[in-house]
Structure 1
Amino acid sequence: MPYRWTETSASPDLTLTLWPHNALPARGFAATVLGFFCLASIPLYGLLGTVLLWGVLPFMLMATAGLYYALRRNEHDRQIVEVLTLSPDRTHLVRTNPGGNVQDWDSNTYWVRVAMHEAGGPVPFYVTLKGNGREVEIGAFLSEDERKALFDDLSDRLARLTRN
């Protein structure tokens, strides 16, 4: 699961760190681009020594460059980190976006409510935190099953924290 809870023995604070799943590591990226290039060049072997090679080659190279760009752009867009800190008196959420800008939200933990919107949000089973007059999303980049698990886990931990 692309999120992790961290507890410290010295304080009752809980920290939840969320990040998007990375299905394509650096070696997989290189293998994908190289594999595409090699497979796309197979039809060109029959054109070696002809003028047609120079007519088809630029399009094959543009397709390879397009794949490279798309995969790099996807990697950049997944550079999101959300850190939720729960303490008995304060809840604080910090989201670092791909461009590096930071958004934060905080509220009194007693008034924080976790909600799941099964429909009507940007994604199915959209999880939000509501408190201090604002409603903020959390984990929208997770898969549907991961958002369901996050909702259950977050609701349980928040309930345990406010009970004490």
Structure 2
Amino acid sequence: MPYRWLPSPSPNEAELRLWPHESLPPRGYAAFLLATFTLATIPLYTVLGTVLLWGLLPFLLLALGGLWYALDRNHRDCQLLEVLRLTPETVSLTRHNPNGPDQNWACNAYWTRPHLHADGGPVPNYVTLTGCGREVEIGAFLSEDERMALFQDLSRQLPPARR
């Protein structure tokens, strides 16, 4: 699961870290680009030494550059991190965005409630936290099953008197 409850120094406190799943590790990234380059150059071997090679080569390099840019952009966008801290007094959520300022939300723990929106959200099984007059999303980048498990974990972490 791309989220984990961290051990806390106190039994009444908890910290949850959530991050997007990244299916292509750095070695796989390099191997994929090398394999794509190798397979894309195979048709060029038949036109070596001709003017046609110079007509096709820029398009091959442009396609590889576009692929590299898309994979690199995806990697940068996956550098997102959400940190949820639960204490007896407060619940705080911090979202560390890859290309922007951090977003923070805090509320009195007594009034904080998790909600599961099975329908009507931007994604199925959309999980939000409500409190202090605001509703904030948590883990929208997780898969549908992972959001269900997250909701169940949050429901267990917040005592029934708070919900």
- Scaled by the length of structure 2, the TM-score of the pair is 0.94
Runs of 4 or more off by more than 6 Å in structure 1? none
Residues 124-163 of structure 1 mapped to structure 2, 5 A cutoff: 124-159=124-159, 162=162
Q: What secondary structure is seen at the aligned counterpart in 2 of 1:16?
A: strand
Q: SS state of the match for residue 99, structure 1?
A: coil
SS, match of residue 156 in structure 1:
helix
Q: Determine helix, strand or coil for the equivalent of 2:159.
A: helix
Which residue identity does 2:7 align to in structure 1? E
- Aligned-residue sequence identity (percent) comes to 59
Count of aligned pairs: 163
Tell me the CA shift for residue 8 of structure 1: 2.2
Change (3 A) 1:136 1:68: same
Matching residue of 2:122: 122
Query: Relative to 1, partners in 2 of residues 1:11 and 1:5: Cα closer, same or farther, differing over 3 Å?
Result: same
Structure 1 letter corresponding to 2:45: Y
Kept after mapping to 1: 8 A contact 2:19/2:80? yes
Aligned residue runs from structure 1 range 39-118, under 5 A? 39-118=39-118
Is residue 88–residue 162 contact of structure 1 (8 Å, CA) maintained in 2?
Answer: no
Preserved contact between residue 2 and residue 19 of structure 2 (Cα < 8 Å):
yes
Counterparts of residues 13-28 of structure 1 (less than 5 Å): 13-28=13-28
Counterpart Cα distance in 2 of 1:8 and 1:43: 58
> What's the C-alpha RMSD, in Å, of the aligned pairs?
1.6
CA distance in structure 2 between the partners assigned to 1:55 and 1:120 by the alignment: 51
- 1:8 partner letter: S
CA contact (8 A) 1:87 1:161 kept: no
Partner AA of 1:21 in structure 2: H
